[in-house]
Amino acid sequence: MLPNTGKLAGCTLFITGASRGIGKAIALKAAKDGANIVIAAKTAEPHRTLPGTIYTAAKEIEAAGGKALPCIVNVREEEQIINAVEKAVKTFGGIDILVNNASAISLSGTLETETKKANLMMDVNVRGTYLTSKICLPHLRKSKNAHILNLSPPLNLNPVWFKNHCAYTISKYGMSMCVLGMAEEFRGEVAVNALWPKTAIYTAAMNMLGGSGVEKQCRKTDILADAAYCILTKPKSFTGNFVIDEALLREEGIKDFDVYAIAPGHPLLPDFFLDAEPDVITMKLEQHGASQAFKEEKKSSQPKHEGLDGAKVDLESASAKPLSPVAETFRVIQGAISEEFVKAIQGVFQFELSGDDGGTWYIDLKTKGGSTGCGKPPVKADVVMSMSSADFVKMFTVLIPLDCNCVVLHRHTLGDMQVFFLYKGCMLSATCSQKTVKC
């Protein structure tokens, strides 16, 4: 995990929704530096089903080495935000960092979304983020290294992320649009960035949506805490970015991501808005008893740009990019897999890739239906290959099903074609000058 550097010692962080989950994890990470944490959240009394209150979180923060100020704040109530900010400034002398973490979710279609639920999401996610930022900004502008960090996704305009939960997507993208606008408006004074996870994160909300057992496909909140810490310790010139947690931590030198997994080695569930196939997300959640609200989210069509991995977001860009070459290659391979293919080959191939978009990927041609993806394969690999991402893309450029039930993946080499056969679990190679191969 990312080590603490002490850079947040004495800094004051105002964190919404910090009584549990991701908000509390970010608070505890900063507390290890000796930071002051304003816990701006609603839960003052123990909840019937949800763990933690602002007071239990305060005890944990102080035990970790920080100073805590628990404040009862419903971000739908402007007066409560104003009172908490004033109390924070009076107690700690100012505010250096704002983390807009509080969020509401209802995964329902337009006709199924009750007005009160739509109002809740708009009020908490968009209006709450905007108001809290507005109220904190006069104090943030006085800080030497001020930051606003919104827990919101890159602005992926693929219609598939709108059609099944339009209100929720609008509300989360509203948070992201605050990043776009405020980053430019306060450039040079306050850094404004967004952070989003590459995979599902195990929180109380995920537990309710995904059902029992979904945690095995999730990462801990620690990965977002580490990524947030990395952003918040950067200079304020780092602004206007939509950051994906794993991509940033890889750039920081983190290589072992199993430490963040609930069940190390288990395949992970991709998060929303990153062009992983919604059908795959839904199917995996339903396998673990997804809630009825989520089961109603049947994804009936494929996105225009399908992918097996979250697209890596350029930290200097305010918009999501197309699929990476590696992810696109696996997308093509996935589309060519057939049941006959799987029956004939019966092999699982694991790829350890280095460089851009590196990591562990797999092609499963043994399990029923076959699959490809990012992470370790669902069953033990028969073959493990290590190479650079660039070499992988060069090598696996075309996938051609032949009558002989083998997969041919080829690349051009000085006019000839270097052919790789995945045949009954073995990889063979040959050089030929024709695109039609007999075997």
**Are 360 and 350 a contacting pair, CB within 8 Å?**
yes
Any alpha helices (H) in 350-425, and if so which ranges? Answer: 389-395
CA angle 362, 365, 371 (to 5 degrees): 55
Q: Report the amino acid identity of residue 90.
A: K
Per-residue b or e along 50-75, where b marks 16 or more CB atoms closer than 10 Å to that residue's CB: bebbbebbbebbeebebbbbbbbbbb
**Rounded Cα gap, residues 232 and 145, in angstroms:** 9
Distance CA 185, CA 306 (A): 34
∠ CA 39-41-44, rounded to 5°: 100
CB 402 within 8 A of CB 439: yes
Q: Which position among 168, 202, 229, 362 bears the catalytic label?
A: 168
CA–CA separation, 169 and 104 (whole Å): 11
**CA 427, 431, 432 angle in degrees (round to 5)?**
125
**Cα–Cα distances in Å, from 41 out to 16, 80, 133, 152?**
6, 10, 15, 18
Collapse the DSSP code of 68 into the 3-class scheme (helix H, G, I; strand E, B; otherwise coil) and give the result. Answer: strand
The structure tokens 């108001």 sit at 131
Query: Contact at 8 Å (CB) between 178 and 149?
Result: no
* 82-88 long-range Cβ contacts below 8 angstroms, 24+ apart: 82/135, 84/14, 84/38, 84/40, 85/14, 85/135, 85/136, 85/139, 87/38, 88/12, 88/14, 88/38
Answer yes or no: 229 catalytic: no
> What are the residues whose beta carbons fall under 8 Å from the beta carbon of 138, sequence distance 6 or more?
none
CA distances from residue 202 to 194, 207, 212, 257, 304 in whole angstroms, order as listed:
19, 7, 11, 15, 29
Reduced to 3 states (helix: H, G, I; strand: E, B; else coil), residue 193 is: strand
Q: Which residues are catalytic?
A: 168
